[in-house]
């Protein structure tokens, strides 16, 4: 009887873990709407030119999979919905960037069988206020999660790429104008007041 009970509990536990592993945690449309208090602006398109492609390839470890990205922006704030492979399948993340710093990073859709723990706030909160350093990396260390190494790495790549992309977006241009800076927004030599936001996914 005790053996049967232990086996039953094991199946219940593994079943719960598997149920938590993959799924839609927040629909991308809902994420965008939430970021703008229920009134999202019309989407914009960012074309990936040669210089931006090179920077993103460095950040992601692979070339971007599309020639353009869709994003949403109001003034100096931009929102991006991005995909990046964890181990075998893409993880969809949402990133909000405000004035060159990450305001929030959320796991929207998780498709892998392991690593889903990155969805929790104890992990995603580490990205708040992250910016680019002078080598186009994150300006802070992000603690990993045992058993979720590949998912953690994917999230870090998305955050970095998002900051680079934000610097090339119209939101960054608005930020520079507000600050009275006439520098070329395509020059992503990281400034403390400029961040970028986005990830490489097909235009949705």
12-42 confidence digits (pLDDT tens): 444 444 445 679 999 999 999 999 999 999 9
Q: How confident is the model over 60-90, as pLDDT tens digits?
A: 999 998 999 999 999 999 999 999 999 999 9
164 neighbors 130 (Cβ within 8 angstroms): no
Nearest by Cα to 144 from 123, 116, 169: 123
Query: What are the residue ranges spanned by the domains of the chain?
Result: 23-179
* pTM summary value: 0.77
Which residue stretches of 81-148 are H helix? 121-124
Q: Of 190 and 54, which is predicted with more confidence? A: 54
In percent, how much of the chain has pLDDT > 90?
A: 72
pLDDT classification of 172: cutoffs 50, 70, 90:
confident
Inter-CA distances, 43 with 39, 78, 81, 140, 199, Å:
12, 10, 11, 30, 15
């Amino acid at each position: 009887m005790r053996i049967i009970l232990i086996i039953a509990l094991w199946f219940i536990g593994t079943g719960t873990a598997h149920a938590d592993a993959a799924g839609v945690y927040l629909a991308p449309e809902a994420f965008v709407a939430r970021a703008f208090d229920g009134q999202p602006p019309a989407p914009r398109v960012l074309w990936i030119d040669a210089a931006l492609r090179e920077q993103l390839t460095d950040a992601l470890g692979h070339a971007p999979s599309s020639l353009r990205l869709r994003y949403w922006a109001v003034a100096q704030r931009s929102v991006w919905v991005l995909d990046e492979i964890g181990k075998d399948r893409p993880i969809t993340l949402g990133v909000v960037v405000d004035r060159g710093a990450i305001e929030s990073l959320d796991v929207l859709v998780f498709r892998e069988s392991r690593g889903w723990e990155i969805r929790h706030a104890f992990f995603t909160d580490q990205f708040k206020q992250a910016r680019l350093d002078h080598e186009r990396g994150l300006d802070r260390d992000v603690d990993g999660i045992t058993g979720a190494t590949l998912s953690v790495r994917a999230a870090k790549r998305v955050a970095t790429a998002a900051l680079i992309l934000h610097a090339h977006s119209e939101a960054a241009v608005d930020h520079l104008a507000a600050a009275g800076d006439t520098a070329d927004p395509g020059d992503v030599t990281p400034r403390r007041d400029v961040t970028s936001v986005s990830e490489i996914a097909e235009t949705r």
